[in-house]
A and B are shown apart, each in its own frame.
Chain A
Amino acid sequence: MVLVNGAEESGVVGQTIAEFLNQRSAPIENIVVEQNGTIVHRADFDTTKISENDKLELISFVGGG
């Protein structure tokens, strides 16, 4: 089981971060990925894999003052 933004998600273990984001049609230029509390740099999206029990946070810029 993997937690993505606090919600359980299945079927993503083994994917790279790049594959995972691609599947969600996430705008890569506006996504920061934290894996178990550590920022995954964009250059490492292709080589970083999602493991069982990972906690992923996907964070973007939104409007704010």
Chain B
Amino acid sequence: MANEKDELVIGGHAFTSRFILGSGKYSYDLIDSAINNAKAQIITMALRRNNTGKENILNYIPEGITILPNTSGSTNAEEAIRTARIARELSGSDFVKLEVVPDKKYLMPDNYETLKATEVLAKEGFIVMPYMLPDLNVARQLVDAGAATVMPLGAPIGTNKGLSTKDLIQILIDEIDVPIIVDAGIGRPSQAAEAMEMGAAAVMANTSMATAGNIPLMAEAFKLAVEAGRKAYLAKPGRVIEHGAVASSPLTGVSAVK
């Protein structure tokens, strides 16, 4: 997964940034500064009916940024496959963030429909990045079906609650050979850093930026957190002592009054 430059490799494409930025729910005017401050190389977008013909988000995306279309709005495999094909027509690239979400209350992905869509899309040459509820068996099946990454949720979409599924994500990180990208729920840079320390290959965030008081500044904070977490992971964090303490200063040679 990690090469000499510690690049993130997805479907044969290498990225130096491990922070994937969403573009939803904030002004297009801020996309450019958010991307620059985040040093993001991948930005997600959704597909919707165009009834106005007016504003074009593509005008706000800097050169060289990889567009990662999502299939949001899809409630089953068939809809997601259709959306992915439309996305490829538009983006000219094979990347797709596969989201199949029939549940309206918690926006829980349907792992079974996601797996069905992954099988079809991977055969059509898509670089499939499925969003899923973290489950080791499903993650293995997704990889067998041709998924390029696995994107487990940290918490329900848009909640900023953080790593509610931490232990389940750790299992995926430990057992799955494709990049594990934590997607959804990450609300604070500290949570992004924690995911990266755990060994996540990348973190994706949107709402945490969109609902921040200063979007570009929060994007920068996330960039730093993701980098810090990655470096900590590579540095191999030190052990934890559950009881007692271990002095970090020498125990001998202490000067005494008497």
Contacts and interface: CB of A to CB of B under 8 A. Distances in A.
Interface of A: 5-6, 21, 24-27, 29-32, 34, 39, 41-42, 57-65
Given A32-B89, A34-B86, A39-B86, A64 B46 contact: yes
Interface string B35-65: 0000000001111111101101111000000
Given A32-B90, A65-B157, A65-B207, A57 B28 contact: no
Nearest to B83: A59
Interface string B65-81: 00101101000000000
Given A5-B49, A61-B45, A61-B57, A30 B90 contact: yes
A6 B89 CA distance: 21
16 contacts: A29-B58, A32-B86, A39-B85, A57-B49, A59-B50, A60-B50, A60-B90, A61-B45, A62-B45, A62-B46, A63-B22, A63-B31, A63-B46, A64-B206, A65-B157, A65-B205
A43 to B, nearest CB: 11
B56 A60 contact: yes
Contacts of B72: 64-65
A63 B26 contact: yes
A6 B51 CA distance: 10
B26 to A, nearest CB: 7
A28 B24 CA distance: 22
Contact of A63 (B25, B49, B86, B157): B25
B56 A65 contact: no
Interface residues of B, number: 37
B47 A61 contact: yes
A63 B45 contact: yes
Contact of B57 (A25, A30, A32): A30
A30 B58 contact: yes
A61 B58 contact: yes
Contacts of B160: none
Q: Which of A31, A34, A39, A64: most chain B CB closer than 10 A?
A: A64
Given A26-B53, A39-B85, A65 B47 contact: no
B149 interface: no
Interface in B10-26: 22-26
A26 to B, nearest CB: 4
A32 B88 CA distance: 10
A25 B54 CA distance: 7
B98 to A, nearest CB: 13
A58 B56 CA distance: 13
Nearest to A29: B58
A42 B88 CA distance: 12
Contacts of A57: 49
A44 to B, nearest CB: 12
Contacts of B22: 63-65
Contacts of B91: 61
B23 A65 contact: yes
A25 B22 CA distance: 27
Contacts of A21: 53
